Amino acid sequence: MPVYRSIRDLDWPLLIVTLALCTLGILQIYSATLATKWQDAWWKQILWVVTGLAMMWVAAALDYHVLLTQVGYLYLAAMGVLAATTFAGSKVFGSTRWIKVAGFTLQTSEFVKIVLILVVARYLTEAKSSGSLTWKDLAKLAALVGVPMLLVMKQPDLGTALTYLPILICGVLMAGLRWKYLAIVATVLVVTLPIGYHFLKPYQKDRLVSFVYPDRDPKGTGFQVIQSRIAVGNGGMWGRGAKESSQTHLGFLPVPHTDFIFSSFAEEHGFVGIVIALVLYFLLIMQVVQNAQTSTDKAGLYICMGVAALLLFHVLVNVGMVVGRMPITGIPLPLMSSGGSSTWSIFLMLGLVNGVRLRRFVN
């Protein structure tokens, strides 16, 4: 297949928005970790971003059609690694999410997202050719996504496990589902969720309770919710200025460079700052969606929409948690939160999106 690909054909608007967000992230990591034990996190993050860019290029260079043909092996391999992590990974903060590979500590569940996007895209492309999705299709898709979810929940890492859901839901909705099915699925979910609550770990229940009633135990579980809202409110319209934020720098804000980086950002740069950042995220997602729209085939569309749904979910849950409108789940903010696995996996996904774009005229 003779294909002409060059850097010129990459999605430059997407790339610019991506790098802008990464820059905000690195600056904020620098400011938030100044004089703490994480104070070298900012240059590590630069390292992640630079290597992430390379990965993105590689992912874009690969033909996603070829990837999709190999997705079965990818899926099996991913499950193997995930299982290995869950049962033999290194334990940090009471959960085993990480394995060490060549000196890097990787959170494997982050990379599983990519595989799931591909698996869902592959399955839907094939199933959809026979019309609407059947119950059987739904069951199989649920199983394909459910297995890694259960493994990740076992680590335990409910937040990351939940990020797999939007890939599935978005894919199914894009493929088209009968209203009747939709209604039934929705009903079943509404009925089973309260039952599922009883299977949550105590700390997860606490988090849900403190989301609803943050003032019940202000020094305990509600602490993070309250402190994050205080940090955000303390920022006001214009922010306290970089390095001037008391909530961030006196340690009241939990993990201000990872999960709560947006609280710290909101405290230092105020409402104006967060509007700029959120506009960038909005542009990022819209640009990914635009690539879905211009895709020449369904597979490309599913991949792009899977990525868009995942990004939207991450932003909704993380930023929603920061303003106290979502329970604390501990998932990172894409591109801004410090962390290699998350950054790399986002760049790989954006690479896939670029790959779809590069091949839009090729058919």
Partner 1 sequence: MPLLERERKQHEGLLSLRPPRDDPKEAAGKIAVFQYLTVAVFVFLVSGFWQLQVQNPEVYSEAAERNRIKSIPLLAPRGKILDRDGRVIVDNKASYSLLLNRDQIRWEHLPAIASALQLDYGDLSSLIRRAGSRPQIIIKDQLTRDDIAWIESHQDASTYPEMQLIKSWRRQYPRDGFAAHVTGFVGEISEAELESPQYIDYHQGDIIGKDGIERQYDKTLRGVDGQQRVLVDNMGRERQMENTQDAVPGKDLHTALDLDLQAVAELSLAGKSGSVVAINPQNGEVLAMVSAPSFDANKFTGRISHTDWNEIASDPRKPLLNRSIQAQLAPGSTFKPIMAIAGLESGVIDDETIFHCPGGASFYGHYFACHLKRGHGDISLHRAIAQSCDVFFYNVGNRLGIDRIAHYADLAGIGRKTGIDLPNETQGTMPSTKWKMRLSRQKWYAGETISVAIGQGAVTVSPIQLVSALGGLGVGGRWYQPHLVEGGAPVLLRKADFNPDNLQQVISGMYGVVNEWGTGHAAQLPDIKVCGKTGTAQVASSDKTKGAKVRSALANNAWFVGFAPMEKPEIAVVALFENGEESYNAVPIVRDVLKAYFDKKARLTSGHLLETELRRVQSLELLSSIAAFSPRGLIE
Site residues (vs partner 1, CB under 8 A): 65, 68-73, 75-76, 122-123, 125-130, 140, 170, 173-174, 176, 227, 229-237, 246-247, 250-252, 266, 270-271, 274-275, 278, 281-282, 285-286, 289, 292-293, 295-301, 305, 308-309, 312, 315-316, 319-320, 323-325, 363
The minimum distance between CB 18 and partner 1, in angstroms, equals 17
DSSP-derived secondary structure for 12-69: HHHHHHHHHHHHHHHHHHHHHHTTSTTTTHHHHHHHHHHHHHHHHHHHHHS-HHHHHH
Nearer to partner 1, 117 or 170 (CB): 170
Q: Which of 214, 204, 119 is nearest to 162 (CA)?
A: 204
Nearer to partner 1, 143 or 195 (CB): 143
Write phi, then psi, for 200 (nearest 5 degrees).
Answer: -70, 155
Nearer to partner 1, 189 or 316 (CB): 316
Nearer to partner 1, 42 or 281 (CB): 281
* CA distances (Å), origin 199, targets 94, 208, 327, 330: 18, 13, 17, 19
Cis peptide before 156 (omega within 30 of 0): yes
CB-neighbour burial class of residue 269 (10 A; exposed 0-12, middle 13-18, buried 19+): buried
The minimum distance between CB 28 and partner 1, in angstroms, equals 16
The minimum distance between CB 116 and partner 1, in angstroms, equals 14
The minimum distance between CB 104 and partner 1, in angstroms, equals 28
Q: Which two tokens stand for residue 8?
A: 């010129």
Handedness of CA 49, 51, 53, 56 (dihedral sign): negative
Nearer to partner 1, 106 or 119 (CB): 119
Nearer to partner 1, 227 or 343 (CB): 227
The minimum distance between CB 178 and partner 1, in angstroms, equals 14
Q: Which two tokens stand for residue 100?
A: 């060490």
The minimum distance between CB 96 and partner 1, in angstroms, equals 27
